[in-house]
């Protein structure tokens, strides 16, 4: 089976979906001849031309506004926001227009578009190229939010997102683009939206994570295994709709949960999972639901030392698991 990097899986899926369906277009800043700042769209302009691979001005509200317009008129746009940090000028378009299109039209219109956005820290990007913005969008009914952590899932989830008839926020962790490799079938497979993945079975503690943190959670589980602690790791994959059944079944089995995310701890996405477990699995818990997340500072510092201080790592996750296991 072919082995691909995370970014290769995304690029090849975009190409295959554009070949399969002439209504799929790509647009964004520098996505054309340049191939995108991370080269996610490299080669697409040469194959499909400027009518389907469209360079836009540096105006996120235009990128998303135009995508909404063409999506309700028969196309399936895949707009790229160059960095998730810059998505906020388009926030109103996404939240007030795209997310509510089907509801406000009583099902007359849908908005089939997939917004790709690189996110996350640990790449020396400092304040404006390191943010985790997923929690803002998981709050909004009408939006689906996807965060793949492996090349296999990146390919399968992107295919499902592009074919979905409603708007999807597809967040890609920048640090995974070329650091992670994995087997990716050439077949036309897809990974369903709304399904979590148990990446490591265990019996004593459940670790819940997504994106880069899903890899760090696996490393942490290996660390605590040396202490005799059996940790089950769940990669959420789709933040909304959330696979509550898999999460609850795991925590009912283990009795303990550690939730990991690199965003600021207060109000982060992991808080919603913590609330879910506290409300619906309370009788099964034998320790406090624990969060491991970024500190309460406005952004990821540029200094490498301070960036390391901000970022969650396997050792911090492992320490939280040890404390909870001993509770």
Task: Point out the residues that are catalytic.
Answer: 129
Helices (H), 54-177: 60-71, 91-92, 101-104, 134-138, 151-163
Cα–Cα distance, 327 to 314 (Å, whole number): 20
In what order do the strands lie in the sheet containing 114-119? 53-55, 24-28, 76-80, 114-119, 168-173, 144-146, 238-240
DSSP state of 311: S
Q: Are the beta carbons of 147 and 171 closer than 8 angstroms?
A: yes
Between the alpha carbon of residue 259 and those of residues 87, 146, 209, 228, 286, the distances in Å are: 26, 17, 6, 20, 16
Which residues are CB-contacts of 292 (< 8 A; sequence separation ≥ 6)? 258, 259, 260, 261, 312, 316, 317, 320
DSSP per residue over 2-35, as a string?
A: -EEEHHHHHHHHHHHHHHH-TTEEEEETT-STT-
Q: How many alpha carbons lie under 13 Å from residue 280 in its C-beta half-sphere? A: 14
């Amino acid at each position: 089976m072919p082995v691909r990097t995370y970014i290769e899986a995304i690029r090849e899926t975009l190409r295959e979906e554009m070949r399969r369906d002439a209504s799929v277009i790509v647009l964004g800043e520098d996505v054309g001849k340049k191939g995108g700042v991370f080269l996610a769209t490299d080669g697409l302009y040469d194959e499909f031309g400027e009518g389907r691979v469209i360079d836009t001005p540096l105006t996120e509200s235009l990128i998303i506004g135009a995508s909404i317009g063409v999506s309700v008129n028969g196309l399936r746009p895949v707009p790229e926001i160059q960095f998730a940090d810059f998505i906020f000028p388009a926030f109103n378009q996404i939240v007030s227009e795209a997310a509510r299109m089907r509801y406000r039209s009583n099902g007359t219109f849908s908005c089939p578009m997939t917004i790709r956005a690189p996110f996350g820290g640990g790449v020396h990007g400092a304040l404006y190229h390191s943010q985790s913005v997923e929690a803002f969008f998981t709050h909004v009914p009408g939006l689906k939010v996807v965060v793949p952590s492996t090349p296999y899932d990146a390919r399968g989830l992107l295919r499902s997102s592009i074919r979905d008839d409603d708007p999807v926020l597809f967040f890609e962790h920048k640090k995974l683009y070329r650091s992670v490799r994995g087997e990716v079938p050439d077949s036309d497979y897809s990974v369903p939206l709304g399904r979590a993945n148990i990446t490591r079975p265990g019996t004593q503690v459940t670790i819940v994570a997504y994106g880069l943190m899903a890899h760090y959670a696996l490393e942490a589980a290996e660390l605590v295994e040396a202490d005799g602690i059996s940790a089950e790791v769940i990669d959420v994959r789709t933040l909304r709709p959330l696979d509550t059944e898999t999460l609850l079944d795991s925590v009912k089995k283990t009795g303990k949960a550690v939730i990991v995310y690199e965003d600021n701890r207060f109000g982060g996405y992991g808080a919603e999972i913590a609330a879910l477990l506290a409300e619906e699995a309370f009788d099964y818990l034998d320790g406090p639901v624990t969060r491991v997340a970024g500190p309460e500072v406005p952004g990821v510092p540029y200094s490498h030392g301070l960036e390391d201080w901000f970022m969650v790592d396997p050792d911090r996750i492992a320490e939280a698991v040890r404390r909870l296991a001993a509770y």
